[in-house]
Amino acid sequence: MVTEVVEKLSEKRNELIGRSEIVLLISSGGGTPSRAETLEAVSKYLGIDKDRLALVNIMPRYGSPEATVTVHKYDTPATLRLFEPRYRLVRQGIEQKK
């Protein structure tokens, strides 16, 4: 399944935390794409490393090959580890499950 970013729907900057909260529209071959595929496509689209991105959610559109994706883009990997919940870090493989 090929996943690609179609367009950026919104971007909100949070200077206090040092991150941008971005909503994107993605397209896949059919069905909801995996988190790994989605993270790879978003990383490629934004032109940054995956270790600065936190995938918040994937909301598929009913009857459509498109989905709305919310990601947090951090200034540094250290701020990502500081502010993101542990379960997201484990889900993305940044930290190990205890």
The two tokens of residue 77 are 């990997």
Confidence at residue 62, expressed as pLDDT on a 0 to 100 scale: 87
Note whether 8 and 24 are within 8 A (CB): yes
Confidence at residue 5, expressed as pLDDT on a 0 to 100 scale: 82
Per-residue pLDDT tens over the stretch 10-60: 999 999 999 999 999 999 877 788 888 899 999 999 999 999 999 999 999
Confidence at residue 1, expressed as pLDDT on a 0 to 100 scale: 58
Q: Which amino acid is at 14?
A: N
Q: Percent helix, strand and coil across the chain, each rounded to 5?
A: 30, 40, 35
Per-residue pLDDT tens over the stretch 52-88: 999 999 999 888 888 999 999 999 999 999 999 999 9
Higher-confidence position of 15 and 1: 15
Question: According to CATH, what is the number of the domain 4-91?
Answer: 3.30.70.330
Instruction: Locate the domains of the chain by residue range.
Output: 4-91
